[in-house]
Structure 1
């Protein structure tokens, strides 16, 4: 066993980076109706058996080998509950301390399975329902190290989905934060297999008594984390090493129509994804990643496992989204994982603050244009003078130490990627096709560092998979298109899943006979081998004149407009055009109203903003901004909105119009605004 397990995967970029051959076709793989198979042009196609990281426990062992006294998991302690106040520092648990705790928890869980207190199903599954916090990682590492299968419950899942997952995965034990315990106990009559709830929070004697007695009425044991650690110490065993083919996790993806699907991921699949993400990773030895994106999702788990493999630190947010910036400024992370809805907010706030008259605004625009021109010409996103004078303050917003920003989960505007490069002078990577997040272990494509023309693309295929494009004749996309081949993106490789848990129908619809995952994304590959998402096969509708429209593509295009907080685009096959609902960003809406009326309106003035949504002048300003964004991104005429309804009545998980991963449930969103959307069509096609 290597002293430092991640060492063989931590390969720096070569002195000469082949930007002209980022993905390369495999000879002899081109067939009618599809492109050749493409593999990574720098790292090649990964053979997972050649790396010392073979299973997920190897990742923790890798971090531990860097030094048991190295800080690992950090949080801000609570110093006051009334009012709630957090310390202005992070408190850390070391790798060595976590090693002891993961052995205790893992031993306790294994003992309970062996003695029949829990279990009885075909798999030894364990549920975990919590926001990001140190205990989340301790539990997950413990389960992986003792050959158990973790099943995460989303913190924002509705009652029906929680009930479904508990029964579908046969969860007999669930680790949960204290606020979720009542929900689990109320569900007990519908989840008869659940036998034990473990409170991640230490319970007071009074609360412990209430939960224990309530649990007894439902034949459910309730313990807290301290009790589990004590049970493990009393029944301590060595970690149980899994094989690469063993199941590591069942990750349930939130559906926009039906119940979640359980993606079965093995240790080989997940560890392959981590290894490929380590290639070219350049972070300091004590680098910290900021943990705020849900750990129930594969993207954040992959980010934190990469940090763990290199012996880095994971600093958790307080749990309050309003304190994200404060947390960042105290943690000073080197790695900031993002998703478009977060990164767009940073971009919108910075650009709004810079869009001021006079010398200050002129200075920012000069600095921004100078750096952007240099970056596009050379790939160098630093500038000795402007970074110190202008952009130092922007960097300080995220702590001043960020060296890597990643964007995943959905496409993001090229303007935002350009801004992040210019403002933060760090490696900014957009990648990981939106559909392949879970099914491909958060791996598909990723942009290379220093590529000056990568903006707007997802970069080349990563080394843990291969990609091909499949013709979509109904939409006019083919592998013979010029100048670039186009088609549905299909991925295959050691990082890719083999099927959904107990769901043969969806498995067959997603994976073909040759093992290719059909993502539903339409992509093109440019002359140097970078992929770009250009359309969407799924959520396609046909307008009355016969044109096909990908509604998600239109929404993603308009969502980069600063005024858009949320958007729903609707099409009726009996109509020849699109209409939509815009939930404006309160700050942007307040600026519009203030400008039109000549008096200051605050973003918190809900009454004034609600009234403004009915003002035709305000609606026209918002519509014009959307049209400008559409033209900039080359939306075709039939893809453009013709009329909009503006409202502050947000889509949400609570009213079932959004999934827990913030994707619009189209049917429910339409029903929410049915009368308004039908009224827009009744007005006719003319633009505002």
Structure 2
């Protein structure tokens, strides 16, 4: 660790910390809720804790650029620990807080972490079986710290803050970011400080770094690239304030208190927001009120304020496809949701929908500095930029499969680019399957056709080796209010409307209503709430053909 002498100057997370620590020492940076009150951390206090924890990590005499793990839900200490690892000259390796003991053991072993920060977790007692006794564990305070661990508060009390301002070399590793494992084991994406600086530098205007004293609301996993970008990177770049969610039960209250300027939500969250609004105000009544000039403005403001989004300047969605109908529904309420697209391997920064010039059906306009081409034959989206990943940690063959000799990342997504530089996603290479008739089907595009049916909470179109696709659906809370006949009628109506718009071999033959829900806990969803299609298909495989042969078009799982 030393001051960079690179001919291309970069600004790292650490540089931003030093800047705000000096320029805004008494401004609150992090706000951690506990019930009805907050524990506030100023830039000065954050800097002091980062320096003390860094001093402790230095005292361990680890080799430079050692991998240090971090497993916790989002909280103030998450960001402080992440920064402390960087200041100490090491590599931050964050893990999802929802991992099982076996999953945690797999990524800890693969990454070779010798130190692990353990924080806010729902089931540490279950997870800890996956942690080797050789790994030195440090417990965050207040969130049921493990008495067997080194305690965060003891570190703060026993180590003086470092007085120097070490900065990473541009090509040092910033982090190893493990993917959420939609298919197979998670892969460790290696990202340099230079890559992060390049991505931030090229996108800061689009990401509204110009908003003065912005507030952020952190609740999606910080170990995911989207939250790391929008919350950690942008708050450090702007000197804003980060509010955290305390729990799922207090989510709405915490979001309203934050009233963020920047807000990111995955499509499933937007669907839940929509269903919550419609539970209080049926669609017909909402439509009527939105047509009345004076009342329309009052209703829109009340809804935005109720969600906590009345002050939002940048409202984003990403991590999974967003139905056009849902984007347009919120647009009528004065909430312009801008879709963003990317993957961990390109720092989640390929394109974003412009606020004032949206093109519905696309995922936005390609960022400056990002190159995108469409592979001939397959239609696969290839990307190349100064913020490409270095590769997958300890996986040279997987790296070679993903980055070709010319530096193009093969995303696995299928799409097209129009003459104005807008990117459209039409499917995934690996998700496309062949029916028993020999035709290839892109299930995600068919799933979009069900987006307007509010009886449906989750959907997965399957059908490999079947003559026609079938749709597995989980009902929404709204559907619980209706009887079976009403639900069947609604779903049949959607089928009748959708199928004529599809190619013959894409037409959905059956809808199967699944008991229960798909969750992260039952391994049907990733931590970012994307469906694990391969897991779902495998789980229901024995029933596929019997369901398909059933006479009824709507089938209730028994």
TM over 0.5: yes
Report how far residue 621 of structure 1 moved.
2.1
The 1:524/1:514 distance shift into structure 2, 3 A limit, reads same
Does the 8 A contact of 1:566 with 1:582 survive in 2? yes
1:55 is aligned to 2:12: yes
Report how far residue 282 of structure 1 moved.
5.4
Listed as ranges, the matches of 1:541-552 within 5 Å are 541-552=433-444
Does the 8 A contact of 1:288 with 1:312 survive in 2? yes
Listed as ranges, the matches of 1:477-496 within 5 Å are 487-496=379-388
Output the CA distance in 2 between the equivalents of 1:626 and 1:53: 53
Report how far residue 66 of structure 1 moved.
4.4
SS of 1:496 mapped into structure 2: coil
Report how far residue 585 of structure 1 moved.
0.6
SS of 1:250 mapped into structure 2: strand
Report how far residue 156 of structure 1 moved.
0.8
- Note the residue ranges of structure 1 that are not aligned, 5 or more in a row: 1-47, 78-85, 213-221, 371-384, 474-486, 594-614
- Matched residue, 1:604: none
- Matched residue, 1:101: 49
- Matched residue, 1:525: 417
SS of 1:147 mapped into structure 2: coil
- Matched residue, 1:35: none
Q: 1:585 aligns with which of 454, 465, 476?
A: 476
1:455 is aligned to 2:345: no
| Higher mean C-alpha displacement, 62-71 vs 334-343 | 62-71
Output the CA distance in 2 between the equivalents of 1:490 and 1:294: 26
1:293 is aligned to 2:220: yes
SS of 1:558 mapped into structure 2: coil
TM-score normalized with structure 2 length? 0.90
The 1:316/1:361 distance shift into structure 2, 3 A limit, reads closer
Listed as ranges, the matches of 1:199-598 within 5 Å are 199-202=139-142, 211-212=147-148, 222-233=149-160, 236=162, 238-280=164-206, 281=208, 284-304=211-231, 305-318=233-246, 320-351=247-278, 353-355=280-282, 360-366=285-291, 385=294, 388-399=297-308, 400-425=310-335, 428-433=337-342, 436=343, 438-451=344-357, 453-473=358-378, 487-559=379-451, 561-573=453-465, 575-587=466-478, 589-593=479-483
Report how far residue 416 of structure 1 moved.
1.9
Output the CA distance in 2 between the equivalents of 1:424 and 1:282: 22
Q: Quote the RMSD (CA, aligned, Å).
A: 2.7
| Higher mean C-alpha displacement, 514-523 vs 275-284 | 275-284
Report how far residue 617 of structure 1 moved.
5.4
SS of 2:404 mapped into structure 1: coil
Listed as ranges, the matches of 1:142-161 within 5 Å are 142-161=84-103
Output the CA distance in 1 between the equivalents of 2:127 and 2:167: 31
| Higher mean C-alpha displacement, 342-351 vs 640-649 | 342-351
SS of 1:568 mapped into structure 2: strand
Listed as ranges, the matches of 1:89-128 within 5 Å are 89-112=37-60, 114=61, 119=62, 123-128=65-70
SS of 1:174 mapped into structure 2: strand
Output the CA distance in 2 between the equivalents of 1:143 and 1:63: 18
- Note the residue ranges of structure 2 that are not aligned, 5 or more in a row: 1-5
Q: What are the Cα deviations for residues 356-378 of structure 1, in whole angstroms up to 9, with x where unaligned?
A: 55xx44533425xx8xxxxxxxx
Report how far residue 508 of structure 1 moved.
1.4
- Matched residue, 1:76: 33
Does the 8 A contact of 1:543 with 1:576 survive in 2? yes
The 1:175/1:629 distance shift into structure 2, 3 A limit, reads farther
Output the CA distance in 2 between the equivalents of 1:159 and 1:635: 44
Does the 8 A contact of 2:513 with 2:554 survive in 1? no
Does the 8 A contact of 2:99 with 2:127 survive in 1? no
- Matched residue, 2:75: 133
Output the CA distance in 2 between the equivalents of 1:617 and 1:347: 21
Report how far residue 269 of structure 1 moved.
1.2
| Higher mean C-alpha displacement, 621-630 vs 265-274 | 621-630
- For these two proteins, the number of residue pairs brought into alignment is 546
Report how far residue 111 of structure 1 moved.
1.3
- Matched residue, 1:644: 511
Output the CA distance in 2 between the equivalents of 1:511 and 1:313: 37
1:167 is aligned to 2:93: no
Does the 8 A contact of 1:642 with 1:687 survive in 2? no
Does the 8 A contact of 1:559 with 1:565 survive in 2? no
- Matched residue, 1:373: none
Q: What are the Cα deviations for residues 436-481 of structure 1, in whole angstroms up to 9, with x where unaligned?
A: 2x11111000111211x422222211124211111235xxxxxxxx
Report how far residue 173 of structure 1 moved.
1.1
Output the CA distance in 1 between the equivalents of 2:417 and 2:143: 55
Report how far residue 354 of structure 1 moved.
4.1
Report how far residue 324 of structure 1 moved.
1.5
Output the CA distance in 2 between the equivalents of 1:159 and 1:464: 40
Does the 8 A contact of 2:415 with 2:427 survive in 1? yes
Output the CA distance in 2 between the equivalents of 1:492 and 1:161: 31
SS of 1:655 mapped into structure 2: coil
Output the CA distance in 1 between the equivalents of 2:251 and 2:320: 21
